[in-house]
Amino acid sequence: MTEQPPVLVERRGRVQLITFNRPEIRNAINREMSERVAAALDELDEDGDLSVAVVTGAGGYFSSGMDLKAFARGEFPGVPVRGFAGMTQYTSKKPVIAAVEGPALAGGLELAVACDLLVCAEDSVFGLPEVKRGLVAVAGALKQLPARLPRGVVKEIALTGRPIDAQRAYDLGLVARVTPKGSALEAALELAEEIAANAPLAVAATKQVIDQQDAWHGDDFWAKQGELAGPVIISRDAQEGARAFAEKREPVWEGR
């Protein structure tokens, strides 16, 4: 049998599916995986026929985080610009959805919260146990979690190292959907298809306004938003959306 690559990348219409594929070690991330994920996200950014990505793990696990054996050999699983696993510092200008089965702990949680939306199975757990090992979570969770959760909750998770279950993660607003065990990917793909059915330029600009506005000051919001939204509003897709509404039909997007 031909050995499968450690990251699988598929196209399903306008949806890109990225799968961590080392289930024998719970999809622990090494340098090669990081490079492959980064290459896939480069393709997502550059390909006008792709609108959204779903990131998941094979074998019933999302990811256990960094491959510690590879790290002990001197290998660092990060790449320039995108960071750990090719995604924790920067994912894409387009939406990325995490489909989580099983535990998402330490680096696994940092991978999940690098994504725009999280879909998880009901038996999933989320946590940052680094402090129990004398470490600090440095791959993005301490930046992403305070933007999504009350600061007191973030401190409880990060300072105790105690995980939270899927239901509490949903109640807190960390995850978008909780599914029966084994069906997180199916639900994530359904959500991706719903997003991909919308105008691609509008989706990308909307995500960028949400993501970038914390760096804007005061009235700069309106000018910065205009820089991103203005080209969309005068695009052919915007005209098509108006025509399709008037003609009571589904729009046909061109991405321009």
pLDDT of residue 219: 86
Arithmetic mean of pLDDT over the chain: 94
Beta bridge partners of 104: 126
Residues 191 and 204 in one domain: no
Q: What percent of the chain shows pLDDT beyond 70?
A: 99
**Per-residue pLDDT tens for 168-191?**
999 999 999 999 999 999 999 999
Q: Which residues contact 237 (CB under 8 A, 6 or more apart)?
A: 199, 200, 201, 202, 251, 253, 254, 255, 256
Residues 70 and 116 in one domain: yes
Residue 232 lies inside a defined structural domain of this protein: yes
Q: Are strands 15-20 and 103-105 parallel, antiparallel or unpaired?
A: unpaired
Other residues' Cβ atoms within 10 Å of the Cβ of residue 133: 9
**Per-residue pLDDT tens for 114-143?**
999 999 999 999 999 999 989 999 999 999
Residue 209 lies inside a defined structural domain of this protein: yes
- Tokens matching residue 18: 């990225």
For residue 231, give its domain range: 200-247
Q: What is the number of structural domains in the chain? A: 2
Residues 179 and 212 in one domain: no
Residues 68 and 117 in one domain: yes
What is the C-alpha to C-alpha distance for residues 69 and 66, in angstroms, rounded to an integer? Answer: 9
In order of 97, 107, 120, 203, 215, the CA distances from 15 in angstroms are 10, 25, 18, 13, 29
Q: Are 40 and 3 in contact (CB under 8 A)?
A: no
Residues labelled catalytic: 110, 130
What is the C-alpha to C-alpha distance for residues 142 and 126, in angstroms, rounded to an integer? Answer: 14
**Residue 31 belongs to what H/E stretch?**
helix 31-46
pLDDT of residue 2: 56
Residues 233 and 160 in one domain: no
pLDDT score of 198 more than 70: yes
Residue 162 lies inside a defined structural domain of this protein: yes
Using the 3D structure, point to which of 196, 217, 234 is the last residue of a domain. Answer: 196
CA dihedral 155, 160, 162, 164 (to 10 degrees): -20
pLDDT score of 193 more than 70: yes
**Per-residue pLDDT tens for 73-97?**
999 889 999 999 999 999 999 999 9
pLDDT of residue 108: 93
Work out the average pLDDT over 162-172.
Answer: 96
Residue 139 lies inside a defined structural domain of this protein: yes
**Per-residue pLDDT tens for 23-73?**
999 999 999 999 999 999 999 999 999 999 999 999 999 999 899 899 889
Q: Which residue has the higher pLDDT, 218 or 30?
A: 30
Q: Are 85 and 31 in contact (CB under 8 A)?
A: no
Tell me the chain's radius of gyration from C-alpha atoms: 19
Residues 192 and 204 in one domain: no
What is the C-alpha to C-alpha distance for residues 90 and 240, in angstroms, rounded to an integer? Answer: 31
Q: Which residues contact 203 (CB under 8 A, 6 or more apart)?
A: 51, 52, 94, 95, 195
Q: What is the DSSP string of 39-69?
A: HHHHHHHH-TT--EEEEEEGGG-----B-HH
